[in-house]
Amino acid sequence: RFNQRDVQRLEKVAELISAFLLQRRTALRATRAATKTGEERQRHNLHQLIYEAIQEGVNVHTPQGGIIETNPACLRILGLTRDQMLGRAFSDPRWRTFKADGSPFLADEYPVAITLRTGLPVQNVPMGIELPSGELRWITINAVPLCNPETGEVEYGVVTMKDVTAQREAELQLSAQNAELGAALAAAEKANRVKTDFMGVMSHELRTPMNAVLSCANLLSQTRLDPAQKRMLGVLDEAGRQMLALLNDLLDLSSLNADKVRIDPQPVPLVRLIEDAAVIWSSDVRAKGLTLSVRIDPGLRAPRMVDSSRLLQIIGNLLANAIKFTSEGGVTIQAWPEKAKGGADRIAIEVEDTGPGVPAEAVERIFSAFEQVDVSSRRRHGGLGLGLHVARRLANAMGGDITLETMPGEGSRFTVRIDAPIAQDLPAGDASPNDSAQTEAEARDVLCVDDNPRNLFVISAMLRAAGHSTTECSSGAEALEVLGRRKFDVIMLDMVMPDMDGLETLSRLRT
């Protein structure tokens, strides 16, 4: 048991411990306060260091717009001293600022003015500012509000800015370069169109008299000629046909480049078309002592929807190429039906020769315009190097392509594949709608209308040679006058004539 003295002694110890604990608690609080003050000071110093070190300019504005704080980056960007900056408001007339379109900023259009007025941030506003040195500097500006946490009122507006002068100058330079490139491209395209139009006009103007030459040669061949005359006429005809082929290639190229080629699919009996192509080129094959074989799959007996004239042109170009470069052996034409990946009906037509083949490095080049395997080839065989290019472009226009398999020294195999749906409305073996049974022609009275006297002469001569009678007119007006006096069985009108073309003449005739 504790006596009175023990109790007093314990109370004394308790007082000492309590005083010690109170002193310790006070010391701990003081230590904590000192630590907190040090941390806050350290944090403040860190913020100040960041504020002064960042590359973006920073300004702090009062609600009235005056600047109360700025950082070194802002002074560097704007070319001002701290004393010149502090206290200056955004409405100060000394600011000379411009929008991206060159118009000046009004006082209430400044980003910080909008932020102070609305309490909303404003971002990425381009601004041009004239420095005291007279230099124009471009910046992008952001403005954010600092609000009182209790009242929500805007107490300050903080502006950050970034120097984008170099970027803007680069963009302007790039824009100018793009404009120059655009102008150069437009000029090049215009020049290309002029060249294409010129080639088309030139080819057409040359082809018209060349057709007259060949037609007259054909008419002349039907007259009595001695052997020497026949030989000269043969040379004239062969040279004329070569010239016409070159002109046709040039005209086709100009039409393809001008996107003027139109594909007109019609029901076509492919067997007959391929056989016709073989017949057309058979004389050239025989002249070189070659053989010509034709193999057509029975699956192509049904008429197909294709542009017959364009397909015949493609086959002709491939045959011409094969015959030109084959000196011995022969040429083979094969054709068969195919299915595309999507199930569409296609046809494949292959022209194979036993010529020298094509070197691997020239396989793609020979499909380019004005390209041949080498210069010596052009000297030996002639031509412009357009046949394969035109053929592939036409195949592309018909939804297909031309591929080449070749083995140098053994020959080449060109294969054209195009879309060719089966003509459902015509049974297999039927002729195309434009075909009719050939019967002996009756003599007809024909009115020929053409402003070109050569064409008029040739057409009339060919018709008269076939047993028909002709009347010639050199204009649409003259034709209408003649038609007012008498009737004709057939009227042949030139589509393109001065003053009144063929369509207008026909329209007036009908009315």
What average pLDDT does this structure show over 282-287? Answer: 88
The dihedral built from the CA positions of residue 366, 372, 374 and 380, taken in this order, carries a sign that is: positive
Q: Decide if 333 contacts 311 (C-beta within 8 A).
A: no
Q: What residues does 66 pair with on adjacent strands?
A: 89
Q: Which helix (H) or strand (E) holds 160?
A: strand 154-163
Residue 79 pLDDT more than 60? yes
The pLDDT value given to residue 34: 61
pLDDT band at 3 (very low <50, low <70, confident <90, very high): low
For the chain, give the percent of residues with pLDDT over 90: 35
Single-letter code of the amino acid located at 405: E
User: How do 330-339 and 291-296 pair as beta strands?
Assistant: parallel
Does residue 383 have a pLDDT over 70? no
Whole-number Å distance between alpha carbons of 359 and 335: 26
Q: Are 103 and 112 in contact (CB under 8 A)?
A: no
Give the pLDDT band of residue 38 (cuts 50, 70, 90): low
How far is Cα 386 from Cα 246, in angstroms, rounded to an integer? Answer: 8
Pick from 57-61, 85-89, 326-330 the range whose average pLDDT is largest. 326-330
Say how far apart CA 296 and CA 306 lie, in whole Å.
Answer: 17
> How many other C-beta atoms are found inside a 10 Å radius of the C-beta of residue 288?
13
**Residue 160 in contact with residue 58, Cβ under 8 Å?**
yes
| Residue 509 neighbours by CB distance under 10 Å | 14
Lowest mean pLDDT among 37-46, 52-61, 149-158, 239-248: 37-46
| pLDDT digits 0-9 by tens, 226-236 | 989 988 888 88
291, 254 in Cβ contact below 8 A? no
Mean pLDDT for the stretch of residues 432-440: 43
pLDDT of residue 352: 96
Distance of CA 202 to the CA centre of its chain: 27
SS3 380: helix
Residue 106 in tokens: 């009004």
Model pLDDT, residue 42: 57
Q: How far is CA 344 from CA 36, 80, 125, 315, 339, in A?
A: 82, 75, 56, 22, 6
Mean pLDDT over residues 339-359, rounded?
A: 89
Residues 465-494, mean pLDDT to the nearest whole number: 92
Q: What is the pLDDT of residues 82-130, one digit of tens each?
A: 899 898 887 788 888 999 888 999 888 999 999 999 999 999 999 999 9
Model pLDDT for residues 455-464, shown as the tens digit of each residue: 898 899 889 9
Q: Given a cut of 70, is residue 372 above it in pLDDT? A: no
- Which residue spans within 265-389 are E strands per DSSP? 266-268, 291-296, 304-306, 330-339, 345-353
Query: What span, in angstroms and rounded, lies between the C-alpha atoms of 475 and 500?
Result: 7
Distances 307 to 264, 269, 310, 314 between C-alpha atoms, Å: 5, 11, 6, 11
Gyration radius (Cα) of the chain, Å: 46
Q: Name every residue whose Cβ is closer than 8 Å to that of residue 448 and which is 6 or more positions away in sequence.
A: 456, 459, 460, 463, 470, 471, 472, 473, 492
Per-residue confidence band for 18, with pLDDT thresholds at 50, 70 and 90: very low
Q: What span, in angstroms and rounded, lies between the C-alpha atoms of 328 and 311?
A: 27
Residues in the chain: 511
Measured between alpha carbons, how far is 123 from 77 in angstroms, rounded to an integer? 18
Q: pTM for the complete prediction?
A: 0.52
Closest C-alpha among 491, 490, 509, 487 to residue 500: 509
Q: What is the mean pLDDT of the chain?
A: 82
C-alpha pair distances (Å), 12 with each of 19, 23, 26: 11, 17, 21
Name the pLDDT band for 22 (thresholds 50, 70, 90). Answer: low
Contacts of 442 by beta carbon, 8 Å cutoff, 6+ apart = none
